[in-house]
Structure formats: structure tokens, C-alpha cells
Structure 1
Amino acid sequence: MPKIFRAIGAMTGTSMDAIDLAYLETDGRRTLKFGPSASYPFSEEDRALLRRAVAAARSLKQRDERPGPLAEAEYLITGRHIDVIGAFLQKNNIDAATVDLIGFHGQTVLHRPEAGLTVQIGDGALLARRIGIDVAYDLRAADMAAGGQGAPLVPVYHRALAEASGVAAPLLFVNIGGVANMTYVEPDADPIACDAGPGNALLDDLMFAQTGRAMDEDGACALSGQVDEAALAKLMDHPYFAQKPPKSLDRNAFSSSPVAGLPLPDAAATLAAFTACAILAHLGFLPAEPRLIVVCGGGAHNPALMQALATRAPCPVRRAEDFGWDSQAIEAQAFAFLGVRSLKGLPLTFPTTTGVSEPMTGGALAWAG
């Protein structure tokens, strides 16, 4: 019988809203036993520093450079993970000695696959020493070094979820974080995946710029507005949507300039529609139309995004919770799963998910001892 690993996944997405943690017992293949999960929001001061780090990262040429606020942000990200993982273990009465591994994503501050450059800040070695648990980290770099996009990484976990659940295939997982990504799953095939569009990023940035709030809570602003079809058409007139998968995006790949000058509710409604239309624009690249779209990530909790998807999609759109999954925890669970696969030397990415030439493992391992 394959060894079952006890792992904690730690995910900080491009929305820069929180650290998500999830406990998972898995063999890195099909066995999935879910444990507790939690989300630890960043303070507004933390978010401000992370925004400065993302802005500073635009000038990076080497992935190990940490100029200006990047070094400060890396220290912050590592320290916050040390704090929240310790709190998570204590709250859930989990002895660190019983945990085999932490799958640590870090905070993405730059992702430029065309330049072979991806940067996730966070010190995996320091995290391992301070928490006392081995850490698998830097999970994107090997794929990019082999010519892949380095993203998305979660599809292999989406496939495991589908196989473990028995949900009818083909189905499409859509994860809406700062960037939206999608995974097409059908039986006896490698997953097909790509980054699909702006996710929450443009809408979050709009709300922050105009109201000082980090996001459109409960989609209230977008739901009160009307979609400007002319502005939506301009947003969709982007060469990315004609590019065949596999492909991936930086958080700042799109501009919201077409909605400039619109009343805030209309601008928010239009950006929510853009997120939905960007996702659905990729259905034509799939081998067959999915029978079902399953939405996870923070965007699954935004009624405006869910409504925009449901009214435009050619098939039913459901939240992960409808199948007993926790949409907020799926990416953190995925990094626990990916950490175990990295430890076992199993593939994390595939030609159909990142464009790498062959199935590719990856990641670095930091020992606690």
C-alpha cells in the first residue's frame, strides 16, 4: 500500500488577500483525506507592502534579486507563514512531529513565462527550521527551466479531485484568484489547463483605487451596475484570447482602461463580465464541451462573478461546495498534494498544462533538522 503523507499546504494567491492553509492526508495520487483548513487575512499594511513589492518586481531580470521592498516583503511573507502555521497547528491540536511536509507556494510577485522568469518570495529553508517540518517549495522553477509556462500548477490536483469524487466528466474546474485558471478533466487523459484571464485582479484594483476597499464584498457594487458592452468588447480585444493553450499570465497582464470614466457600479459590472467572458472564450480550445463547470477560489464567493458565468456558460455552473469541497481551501490542499508529489518525484506539470516537453516534477526541499 502506498505511504500516506500528512501534509499542510500553504497558498498565497495573486489577490494578495490572505494566507490559506489546509491539512491533507494523501499518497500524492488518488487518496485524499481532507483535514482542517483556515484563511488568515493580510492586514492592509501587509497588502500595501506586497503591492509595492509587485511594482518593484517589474524591473527584475534575475529571479533571486530582491531590491527595495522585495526583501522586506519576503521577510514579511516568511514571518507571517511561521506565525499562522504555528497558530493553525495549535488550534487544531496537531503535533508538528506528526506532519511530514509543508507544501509552500510563497507569494508570486512576477510571472513572465515569455522571459522564462517567475518569482515567488518566501524563505522555505527558514520556514522549515522555525516550524520544525520539512518544506517543499519553489515548485514552478523546474518547469520553466525546461521550457514550460510554470503555471498553472493545480491541474494535477483538480484531476485527483475529479477521480476521487466520481463526478461525471468531462468537466471544467475554474479557479478564480487574482488570475483565473482552468483545468479540463476527462477520464484516462492528462489534464488540459491554462491561465484564462484576469480573475479578481482588475476588479480588486478598481475597488481599491476608487474606494480604498480591497475587494467588491459580496459582488454588491458589480451587481448594482450595468455591463457596458462597448467597454467589454474592448477588454476582450486582447491577443491572449486567440492564443492556444498551454499559456499563463502575470497578474498585471490586462488593463482596465476601457472602463475608465464609467460610474463605479458599471465599471465593476463590466469587469466581472470580463472575467467570465475571458474564461468562456477558452472553451473552443477544449476537445469537447464540458458537461459542468466547477468554480473554486475566492471568486466562487462573489455572486456577481458567479452570475456572469452562469448567464453566459453553455453548461451548468456550480460552486465547489456543491460537491462537498471547500472552494477557498482547494489551492492550499493542492500545494499539500504537490509537495508530496515533489517529494516522491512524481510529475507536477504536463505538456497539456504548461507546454513542457514531457511530464515534469520539480520543487526544492528544505529539511527541518
Structure 2
Amino acid sequence: MAALCAIGLMSGTSMDGIDIAFVRTDGENRIVAGPSMFVPYDAAFRRRIEAALETAKAIVRREDRPGDLAELETEISLRHARAVEAFLKSEEGHWGRPDVIGFHGQTVLHRPATGVTVQLGDGALLARETGIPVVYDMRANDMAHGGQGAPLVPAYHAALARSLPKPFAGKFPVVFINIGGISNVTYVPAQGAPVAFDTGPGNTLIDQWVSREGGVPFDAGGAIASEGGVVSDVVGRYLENPFFEKSGPKSLDRNDFTLDLARGLELSDGARTLAAVSAEAILKSAEHVPEKPKLWIVCGGGRKNPHIVGDLRSGAERVGAQVIVAEDAGLDGDATEAEAWAYLAVRSLKGLPLTFPTTTGCREPVSGGVLAEPQKS
């Protein structure tokens, strides 16, 4: 199959909006990343999604939609359709009409222990609304084959790692860090399959903390944390969680870590301490990879928190490793996950593996995704 033009759509655990990105790729080693856009959710809609996380706890089967989840799924799908339309009409949309859309949807429940993962998103509705084929529901087949259903981005990270520019080319092992609501890492060796797993809370605890204690949705630029200090015993108690002792593959739900251990902290101390938790959890992941990483590349919204990145750099330097942000390597750290979903959509069309035993714990490399074709008039 020749290279296809794909759009990736990602709405992550931060629940702040929709990332859109163009990629031209053959689903293997040919990757040309194109323009991207972010379409934010309004505060009221974000609160609806937050409420849905509670409603979703009642889900037993993947197809269950208790309460208003069915209505919310339709609304999410329509918002994604409008976002695609706006993107294609914008200057960023000059690449032309895509061959396929990779649609993540909004995760409201992820329980790998019981084989249930739910991403709200109606791929057939999105295909009808946009007139473009849509690949969606990319986690389910992995779980059906014994996998955790996450993370899915490693296939894309591995391809990026092998095309890094100088002076970073060849600095294996490379570890890509994605810091969204939950952080995950992809370890890419010089030879062989990537190793990947969730590392712990990324931005989610910080966001919850400043929302609850300060009435703001997130700590922009780490400004709140800059007024505080790290409370080391709180960091230590978070890191005592048995999750950190497990080797990968492993994955987390947004609700697996709470603010209970931060109770009683002052606003800025809490924000700074939780940033340290995020960084230390990532650094701790080096205990579960085959070789000591030489290069860490930070992607996702968390790379904009100078405290997380600063703590990562300090920790990595102590063991002779280097930490850079995506832009240092010519990548777009905001668009990486959306780009990955475009890349995965093309891999799905070709029947190529999306996940591997070393990334999700599936029994064998497996493809995935459901293709929804637009209805012809």
C-alpha cells in the first residue's frame, strides 16, 4: 500500500479538548508529520465528561451506556466531526482531503484486569458526518488477545526513534515519555520490539488538585507549583503504591490514584509535590526496562510543566542520561498522540500489528480497530 494521508483525533485523560493532526505514512517507516490543531472543550462540556467518569463505574460490558453516556457519546462524536470540518477549512488543512481518520474517542473506563475498556465515540456517526472512512475502537482487539489495551502509541514512537535527527540519532536505548493525564513510556532498543507501559499519574492529580483547591482547571506553566516546595514524605507515600513495583506491561485508569495522600497540603506545595510524583514515577520506570536509557524525549502537555521536566532532567543526569522535550528533536509534542492515531489507522487498514507482547502483554502481535465507511448517497 502506498502512503496514505490520515488524520488522527485524540481526546485524552486531561479532557481538555481534541487534538487533530495530519500524517502521511505507509504505516511502517515512512512518516511525514503535517499540520495540527487543538480544539478546546468548553468548561461545561469538560464537567460533563468528568461526571461521566463516575457514571461509567457502573459499566460491566463494553457496550453498556448507563445514565446519559449514550447521549454524551453522540455529542462527543459530533464535536469531533465539527473539529475535522474546521481543521480542513483552516490554513492547517492545506494537505487536502484525508484517506482515513483515526478516532480515539474519550476514555471513561479502563479496567484491564476485567478486560473492559470504554472509549466514548461513534465511529460510524463520525464517518457519516465527515464523509471520510474512520478507524476506531483500536484497543478492544488487544484486550481480546490478553493485552492491557494500553498504551497504543509505542508503534509510532518506535518509528520516530529510528528517524531522529542529529545529534540524537542512534542514541539507543531511547525512551519516549508521554505525559498526559496518565504518563506512559516507550522504550526503544537499537534492535527488537519496543517495551511500553503506563508509569503513573501525569497531569491528572495536579489538575484535580488545583481545580479542587484553587478553582482553576490546570497549573499553567507550573506557576502555582513555583510558589511551593516538594513535601518528600508525600512523594514517598505515593511511590509506595504496589503499581510501581510491577514490571510492564501495565496500564492505569484515571481513577487509580487519588488526592488522598496530599490531603492537608497548601495549594502551591500540593501542586509542586504532585509534579515531583509524576517525575519520580517516570524515572522509576527505568527499573523495568532491559538497559539503562540514554535519551528520554518528553511529549504531551506535561512537558510544559517546568517542574516535571526539571525533576526528570535532574534524575536522568545522575545516571548519565539526557532528557529533551519533543521540539528539541524537531517533533511537535502537542500533536504526537494525534499523529500516532493517524499512523495506527493506516496500520489497521494494512492489518499490521498495533500492539505487541512487550507493550501491552497481548499473547502475540495483533492488529485492531474497526473500519466505518461513510454511507454513499
TM over 0.5: yes
Q: Quick one: which of 351, 355, 370 aligns to 1:364?
A: 370
Aligned twin of 2:290: 287
Aligned twin of 2:235: 232
Aligned twin of 1:173: 176
Aligned twin of 1:206: 209
TM-superposition CA deviations, 1:327-351 (whole Å, max 9, x none): 0000000000000000110000000
Distance 2:101 2:215 in 1: 34
Distance 1:93 1:118 in 2: 33
Identity of aligned residues (%): 49
SS at match of 2:128: helix
Aligned twin of 1:106: 105
- Kept in 1: contact 2:299–2:333 (CA 8 A): yes
Deviation of 1:163 after TM superposition, in Å, equals 1.2
Aligned twin of 2:274: 271
Matched, 1:348 2:340: no
Aligned twin of 2:336: 330
Q: TM-score, normalised by structure 1?
A: 0.97
TM-superposition CA deviations, 1:138-159 (whole Å, max 9, x none): 0000000111000000000000
Distance 1:274 1:98 in 2: 43
Deviation of 1:94 after TM superposition, in Å, equals 4.3
Deviation of 1:60 after TM superposition, in Å, equals 0.8
User: Structure 1's 133 and 96: CA in aligned 2 closer, same or farther, altered over 3 A?
Assistant: farther
TM-superposition CA deviations, 1:222-268 (whole Å, max 9, x none): 12211111111111110000111011110111122111101111111
Query: Aligned Cα RMSD in Å?
Result: 1.3
Matched, 1:223 2:232: no
Pairwise mapping of residues 34-183 of structure 1 onto structure 2 (< 5 A)? Answer: 34-92=33-91, 94=93, 98-165=97-164, 167=169, 168-183=171-186
User: Structure 1's 273 and 134: CA in aligned 2 closer, same or farther, altered over 3 A?
Assistant: same
Distance 1:94 1:171 in 2: 32
TM-superposition CA deviations, 1:180-224 (whole Å, max 9, x none): 000000122110000010110111011111122110010111122
Pairwise mapping of residues 238-277 of structure 1 onto structure 2 (< 5 A)? Answer: 238-277=241-280
Distance 1:284 1:93 in 2: 41
Aligned twin of 1:196: 199
Distance 2:80 2:271 in 1: 32
SS at match of 1:282: helix
Distance 1:88 1:204 in 2: 27
SS at match of 1:6: strand
Task: Work out the number of aligned pairs and report it.
Answer: 368
SS at match of 1:318: strand
Distance 2:262 2:275 in 1: 12
User: Structure 1's 179 and 241: CA in aligned 2 closer, same or farther, altered over 3 A?
Assistant: same
Distance 1:27 1:201 in 2: 34
What amino acid is the match of 2:18? Answer: I
- The gaps in structure 2 that reach 5 residues or longer are none
Q: Which moved more, 1:301-310 or 1:324-333?
A: 301-310
User: Structure 1's 116 and 104: CA in aligned 2 closer, same or farther, altered over 3 A?
Assistant: same
Distance 2:92 2:261 in 1: 50
- Kept in 1: contact 2:214–2:267 (CA 8 A): no
- Kept in 1: contact 2:145–2:364 (CA 8 A): no
Q: Which moved more, 1:214-223 or 1:93-102?
A: 93-102
Aligned twin of 2:306: 303
What amino acid is the match of 2:264? Answer: G
What amino acid is the match of 1:100? Answer: D
- Kept in 2: contact 1:180–1:197 (CA 8 A): yes
Distance 2:68 2:274 in 1: 29
Distance 2:243 2:92 in 1: 46
Deviation of 1:325 after TM superposition, in Å, equals 0.4
SS at match of 2:307: helix
SS at match of 1:98: coil
Aligned twin of 1:318: 324
SS at match of 1:336: helix
Q: Which moved more, 1:91-100 or 1:209-218?
A: 91-100
Q: TM-score, normalised by structure 2?
A: 0.95
Q: Which moved more, 1:347-356 or 1:181-190?
A: 181-190
Distance 2:348 2:95 in 1: 20
- The gaps in structure 1 that reach 5 residues or longer are none
Distance 1:24 1:361 in 2: 19
- Kept in 2: contact 1:18–1:42 (CA 8 A): yes
- Kept in 2: contact 1:97–1:133 (CA 8 A): no
- Kept in 2: contact 1:31–1:164 (CA 8 A): no
